[in-house]
């Protein structure tokens, strides 16, 4: 059985060409195991977000070898890659990116709607999940009626509702104070980490490093070293 959610071998990514070429990833080697929460940390501009985008199939690597859940994602046709993301990946964005016109439950149900679930059934499942996340009384509120933490919980629900095998989170605590950040990470660990699932978090918030099972340090387009952390255990 494959125990690695992500395997990167000498992954390259550059933007532009010729003299204007900017090499952002310069040969990344990284593995993200299933059943763990892995943090990708490093200074601004080191390539964390680019690596996350490549792993999530939102950008194609310029070179190297990349397998996500045993699939060479960058070798898939565009339509297959979209399908792969829809079925296997959950996203938590820095700005939450909730649709302002939808209620909390409808926002959480978006991945199911994208997978052609009937609206009513999808929203019902979303309500159940939001209830488990402590938002049962706010399922019909729109994002502008929710606090930052509540929006974050809706974003978690959206990332989890279709039971993906890999969850990618971009700076989940950057807009939160320390106390709230800890609460959010506790919640994420509790609901997201499963033996058959990996969670990859990009952050430069060192206040939450102790929530990681392992921490991959990046600098100048490379993963310089990976440390085991224990993940609050």
Q: Rule CB under 8 A: which residues touch another protein?
A: 49, 52-53, 56, 58-59, 79, 82-87, 89, 91, 93-95, 97, 99-102, 106, 110-111, 113-115, 119, 158, 170-171
Cβ closest to another protein, residue 30 vs residue 59: 59
Cβ closest to another protein, residue 79 vs residue 137: 79
| Min dist. Cβ of residue 232 to another protein (A) | 26
**What is the C-alpha to C-alpha distance for residues 178 and 184, in angstroms, rounded to an integer?**
10
Cβ closest to another protein, residue 26 vs residue 142: 142
**What is the C-alpha to C-alpha distance for residues 145 and 151, in angstroms, rounded to an integer?**
9
| Min dist. Cβ of residue 97 to another protein (A) | 4
Cβ closest to another protein, residue 82 vs residue 232: 82
> Distance from CA of residue 181 to its chain's centroid?
16
E strand or H helix at 130, and its extent? Answer: helix 119-132
Cβ closest to another protein, residue 22 vs residue 82: 82
Residue position matching structure tokens 């104070």:
177
What is the phi-psi region of residue 7: left when phi exceeds 0, alpha when psi lies from -120 to 50, beta otherwise? beta
What is the phi-psi region of residue 97: left when phi exceeds 0, alpha when psi lies from -120 to 50, beta otherwise? left
| Min dist. Cβ of residue 143 to another protein (A) | 11
Q: Which two tokens stand for residue 132?
A: 């488990």
CA contacts within 13 A on the Cβ side of 200: 30
| Min dist. Cβ of residue 198 to another protein (A) | 18
Cβ closest to another protein, residue 116 vs residue 233: 116
Greatest alpha-carbon span in the chain: 56
| Min dist. Cβ of residue 78 to another protein (A) | 8
Cα Rg, the chain, nearest whole Å = 18
| Min dist. Cβ of residue 98 to another protein (A) | 8
E strand or H helix at 89, and its extent? Answer: strand 89-92
Of 122, 204, 144, residue with least CA distance to 169: 204
| Min dist. Cβ of residue 79 to another protein (A) | 6
Cβ closest to another protein, residue 84 vs residue 183: 84
């Amino acid at each position: 059985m494959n125990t690695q959610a992500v395997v990167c071998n000498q992954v390259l990514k550059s933007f532009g060409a010729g003299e204007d070429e900017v090499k952002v990833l310069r040969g990344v080697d990284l593995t993200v195991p299933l059943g763990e929460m892995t943090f990708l940390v490093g200074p601004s501009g080191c390539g964390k977000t680019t690596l996350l985008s490549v792993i999530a199939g939102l950008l194609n690597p310029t070179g190297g070898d990349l397998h996500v859940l045993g699939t060479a994602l960058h070798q898939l046709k565009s339509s297959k890659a979209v399908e792969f993301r829809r079925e296997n990946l959950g996203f938590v964005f820095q700005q939450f990116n909730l649709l302002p016109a939808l209620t909390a439950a409808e926002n959480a149900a978006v991945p199911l709607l994208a997978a052609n679930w009937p609206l009513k059934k999808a929203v019902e499942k979303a309500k159940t999940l939001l209830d488990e996340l402590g938002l049962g009384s706010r399922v019909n509120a729109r994002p502008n009626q929710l606090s930052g933490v509540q929006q974050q919980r809706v974003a978690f629900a959206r990332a989890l509702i279709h039971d993906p095998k890999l969850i990618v989170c971009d700076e989940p605590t950057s807009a939160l104070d320390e106390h709230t950040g800890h609460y959010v990470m506790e919640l994420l660990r509790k609901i997201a980490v499963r033996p058959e699932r990996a969670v990859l978090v990009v952050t430069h918030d060192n206040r939450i490093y102790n929530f990681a099972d392992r921490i991959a340090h990046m600098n100048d387009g490379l993963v310089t070293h990976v440390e085991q952390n224990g993940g609050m255990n």
